[in-house]
Amino acid sequence: MAPRLAASSAPGKLIVLTGPSGVGKGTLLKALRQKHPDLFVSISATTRAPRPGEVHAQHYYFLSREQFAEWVEQGEFLEWAEYAGNCYGTPRQPVLERVERGEKVVLEIELEGARQVAKSYPQALRIFVLPPSWEELERRLRSRGQDSDIAIARRLARSREELRAAAEFDVQLVNQELESALQQLEDIVFATPLLLSSHS
């Protein structure tokens, strides 16, 4: 499916990257940033506890539930959602400021948040990352060694719902082999309007 073009009034581009937990979207995004360090990835806020090595305001803004609720009430989020028992949200102001300056900004967010962005910022380019198979998705989740069996079961149940929503997105990208998927993602993110138009 061909991506929609951003409105000409917005010089930058907002890219939404979504997919089930364990599909490898974080790995793809990290590799893309290594090739394009000027690509800005929004830092999300979350109520979950930091994982080993994660730093506040570098990987996430780690907030209490009370702090998160205050941000929601004050309209500080471009989108927010609750996932696997924790809340996640994208601070609005730094994202929109960078897009207006002509920068490319990537949001790596969950399905509910992506749906909110589709309504609040419909010119965003929305990409859904798919696993090559259900079995491979489960293998990747278990190989991370970060979650209990109960947590993995919860993530897999959620993943089934998320995969059914893939057709809602502008682009579906299968992450079977990292280098190939990375090249496809790079082509999509940095495609010119003329190139996108020719593939519509």
32-52 as b/e, with b when 16 or more CB fall inside 10 Å?
A: beeeeeebbbbbbbbbeeeee
Written as one string, the DSSP assignment of 50-83 is PPTT--BTTTEEE--HHHHHHHHHTT-EEEEEEE
pLDDT of residue 140: 86
First to last CA, the chain: 7
pLDDT reported for residue 154: 87
> Residue 98: enclosing H or E segment and its boundaries?
helix 92-100
Superfamily, domain 13-42+103-198: P-loop containing nucleotide triphosphate hydrolases (3.40.50.300)
**200 residues of the chain, pLDDT tens digit each:** 433 433 434 469 999 999 998 899 999 999 999 999 999 999 999 999 999 999 999 999 999 999 999 999 999 999 998 877 899 999 998 899 999 999 999 999 989 899 999 988 999 999 999 999 999 998 888 887 777 888 888 889 889 999 999 999 999 999 999 999 999 999 999 875 544 444 44
- The answer to whether the Cα torsion of 61, 67, 68, 70 is positive or negative is negative
Q: What are the boundaries of each domain within the chain? A: 13-42+103-198
| Residue 192 pLDDT | 58
- Cβ-Cβ contacts under 8 Å for 26 (sequence gap 6 or more): 108
pLDDT value for 198: 42
Q: Scanning the structure block, which residue is given the tokens 């989020």?
A: 77
The model's pTM is 0.78
Contact in structure between 125 and 34 (CB atoms under 8 Å)? no
